[in-house]
Structures are given as C-alpha cells and as structure tokens.
Amino acid sequence: MNRYGAEFVGTFWLVLGGCGSALLAAAFPALGIGLLGVSLAFGLTVVTMAFAIGHISGCHLNPAVSIGLWAGGRFPAKDLIPYIVAQVAGAIVAGGVLYLIASGKSGFEVGNFASNGYGEHSIGGYSLVSGAICEIVMTMMFLIVIMGATDARAPAGFAPLAIGLCLTLIHLISIPVTQTSVNPARSTGVALYAGGWAIQQLWLFWVAPIAGAVLGAVVYRAIGKAST
C-alpha cells in the first residue's frame, strides 16, 4: 500500500505542477513562463518526485511507464493494475484541485483545461496521424532513457536528472503537436474536467503512449543485451 500511495501522490504532483503551470502561469504572457516554463515544470515534477518516492515505488507516475517496465522485465504483472489505478486517481484529484483554483478567477471558462488533442484541438493544428506518431516515438524514447538511466550499469544517483530532463525535452518538442501526453494518467486527469472533445480524443493518449512504451522496452532490451 505504501507503493500505491506513493504513486498516487507522485502523479498528483506531476499533474498539479505540469498542467498547473500551463493553466495558471502560462495563461498570463506577462509572467514569461511560455513553452520552456511548462516543459521545465513537467520535468521538475519528475525530478523532485524521483528523489522523494523513487525508493518507495520506483516513481513511475505513468501507466505507460509501468506497462513499459513490465514489458522490459523490470516490473511484476501483479502490480500493474494497482499502480495504474493509483496513478489515474492521483491525476484526477490533481485535476480537481486545479479546477477549484482556476474557477476562482472572474470570467473563468474551462476551455481545453490543458487537455491533449489532435486536429483542431492541436495547438499547431497537427493531424491524428501526426499526433499518434509523435506520442509513440516520444514515449518510446522516454522508456529507453528510463531503462538506461536505471540500469545497474549506469552511473548511480543520476537517474532522476536524466529522466526529468528527458521529459522536459519531450515537452519542448511535442507541446505544439498534442500538448504532450506520453502519460495516460496525465491526459485523463484533465480531460474529465474539460469534457466533450477532450474525452472523445482521450483514447489516443492511452493507446499511443502504451504502444510507444512497449516499443521502447523492446528496443532497450535489444541494445542492452548487445552491449553486455
């Protein structure tokens, strides 16, 4: 239960910090946070939680990561469902907290509520196919970095920084395409409050990250074996 609680808290922080930066800070150009600020916010949530709960639960914070680590032989199947439930629950609660904060502003409108989307709901107007490719490839690379940084042969103590910086880079690349998911829990946690189109398009942000995570695990197992 300690591990599941840690995943709940960690995913809560990821959505609160990452999506919160987009909803509450980036919405005001005068604050100067922009694309770089939101990207850093997501990366920083992972770095801080990795140091805080990595020794408790492994700090997955992401159903795709848990499934990818299982596919890579790093995580037991019996813990998949409890981890995913805890992660999604933490994301939904964080979305609720953000809704309560954001709705306290005069003239509040839900809008996209930091939801992921494609087509007309992509910031850059990218298609479903572009969004799917982006989410698959970005999540694949995320899993390769995660598995590589946490490999027993990797330098000890640097995994949180490598993983957090990787997530920052992923956001810098893909926010214009899908507003960056690579995490089904993160997508679900805000889509439920945005409603409508965000829920209709949510399927992609489960299917593509999970497919990318499994692919990343397969790739890392192949190159990891080749280097031994």
Tokens of 213: 């995570």
Stretch among 20-24, 89-93, 141-145 having the lowest mean pLDDT? 20-24
Identify whether 176 is part of a domain: yes
For CA atoms 66, 71, 72, 78, the dihedral sign is positive
The answer to whether residue 166 is domain-embedded is: yes
66, containing H or E segment: helix 63-71
User: Is 158 among the domain residues?
Assistant: yes
Residue 161 lies in a domain: yes
* Of 5, 115, 20, 113, residue with least CA distance to 59: 5
Residue 109 falls inside a structural domain: no
pTM, to two decimals: 0.94
Q: What percent of the chain has pLDDT over 70?
A: 96
Tell whether the model's pLDDT for residue 26 goes beyond 70.
no
pLDDT at residue 31 tops 80: no
User: Do 184 and 70 form a contact (C-beta atoms < 8 A)?
Assistant: no
165 is a domain residue: yes
* Rg of the chain over all Cα atoms, to the nearest angstrom: 17
Sequence letter at residue 156: A
CA 44, CA 165: separation in Å to the nearest integer?
8
Instruction: Domain count for the chain, please give it.
Output: 1
Taking only the tens place, the pLDDT of each residue in 93-148 is 999 999 999 999 888 889 899 999 999 999 999 999 999 999 999 999 999 999 99
Which pLDDT band, with edges at 50, 70 and 90, does 30 fall under? low
pLDDT tens, position by position, 165-197:
999 999 999 999 999 999 999 999 999 999 999
Q: Which domain holds residue 148?
A: 2-102+114-226
> Is the pLDDT score of 224 beyond 60?
yes
Q: Does some domain include residue 107?
A: no
* Predicted confidence (pLDDT) per residue in 197-210, tens digit: 999 999 999 999 99
| Residue 69, domain member (yes or no) | yes
Let me know: does 144 contact 158? Beta carbons within 8 Å.
Answer: no
Quote the pLDDT of residue 228.
45
- Residue 176's CATH number: 1.20.1080.10
